[in-house]
Amino acid sequence: MTETTHGRHRSGARTQGGQRWQVGPPRPARLHRHDPRTALAVDAGRLAAALSRRLGAGSGGMIGGRLALALQPRALQRLAVGRRIVMITGTNGKTTTTQMVAEALRSQAPAVSNATGANMLDGHVAALMTGLDAPFAALEVDELHLAQVTERIEPAVAVLLNLSRDQLDRVGEIRTVEASLRRALAQAPRTRVVANRDDPNVVSAAFDHPHVTWVSGGARWKDDAVNCPRCGACLGDGDLPWTCACGLFRPEADWTVTAEGLRGPDGALHPVTLALPGHVNRINAAFALAAALELGCDGEAALERIERVSQASGRYSTVRLDGHPVRLLLAKNPASWLEMLDLVSAHDRPLVLSVNSREADGYDVSWLWDVDFESLRGRTVAVTGDRALDLAVRLRYAGVRCEVAGSVEAAVSASDGEIPDVIANYTAFRDLFARSVRP
């Protein structure tokens, strides 16, 4: 899986003066060992994280980093020295893609990651503290915080997955996020960018950057991408070539996701057999592989590691709730609900939907009316969560039979035979995974 673009081989070999030399993993400069303040911050942060886990207060993925930043405000810069860091952002798919990137990088050398999803500065510091010698890091980052990161460090690679409306009461409109991402990339001119060419909002964010690899997997959710993010002109169908009068246009794809696998910049088709289900995860895998190749990983070894990823922080995992096996699926906005409903449409297994509206979800649940629940007609589903009644009303208007349950455990206890699917939004999913037991 090697191709050459402008003298650079995707397998990690580069050319200079007619000679080929291999890009090896970086060696972190252990400056924190010689910096008493950073060393103290790291030791205190690790202790706080360990206490948090021991007391059952959490994974320590935030408190450790928060304490370290309080003691050393430049902890992120200090801990990033000598490492090659991949930042993964977007509305949907961040956690799964981050897991894939981390595994791909580990095909070459140790890599740390914020696997628990703590995706702001404190979570990044906490992740980097877990492996001070790891030369690589794969870090999920909140869409509105990438600019804060690039003010402090310049990641080796930035992955831009997609943008759609989410948590409007916290994040605001997509144009705000797109402008923030564009500013973040302007602050990192040497970063290699891997971006979604099928999302006009992502195209706009990455369009002016000098180093972009474009990935195409198709656009299923198009309601947030019908207008040009820069001038507002109508773009039409985002899956077709488009050019806007303001100069923005749909770029040519370097990587394309097909039903058979991934077609790379060299035109070769690389078959993919993922442990994770659905076309959306083939797209995530394409981003992960492209990012790994930017850092010199061997393509075949990286893809093999990506294919083995079977869950990411509980997503897609089969667990036991109150003694009953269930498969957990996360959906938190119309775009991700579209993908999960498509996934469960392939079978008639029992289905439970759980929706909360807490701070981490966003209090506004008007997005329920943008989800195509009509695809569930003909089957009966159970609904639960803080906003179960809102969801039941939406399903009634969609013509879907539903039953309101006091809890997911109560809903699945009535199911016989096949393992139920549970689709839950963020805090509902988090609470279920915390209560679950892996079989």
Q: Which residues are annotated as a binding site for Zn(2+)?
A: 228, 231, 244, 246
Cα(147)–Cα(74) distance, rounded to whole angstroms?
16
Between CA 288 and CA 306 the distance in angstroms is 8
CA distance 381 to 351: 5
Output the known binding site. Answer: 228, 231, 244, 246
Structure tokens at 40: 């103290």
Looking only at the bridges linking them, the beta strands covering 157-160 and 192-196 are: parallel
Environment class of residue 420 by beta-carbon count within 10 Å: exposed (0-12), middle (13-18) or buried (19+)?
A: buried
**Residue 419: CB atoms within 10 Å:** 14
Distances (CA, A) of 37 to 44, 46, 61: 11, 14, 21
Query: Is 208 marked active-site?
Result: no
CB of 72 closer than 8 Å to CB of 78: yes
- Residue 220, C-beta contacts closer than 8 angstroms, at least 6 positions apart: 335, 338, 339, 342
Catalytic residue, from 364, 372, 390, 416: name it: 364
DSSP H or E segment with residue 76 = helix 75-80
- Would you give the distance in Å from CA 396 to the centre of its chain? 32
Q: What whole-number distance in Å separates Cα of residue 107 and Cα of residue 25?
A: 11
Residues with catalytic function: 364
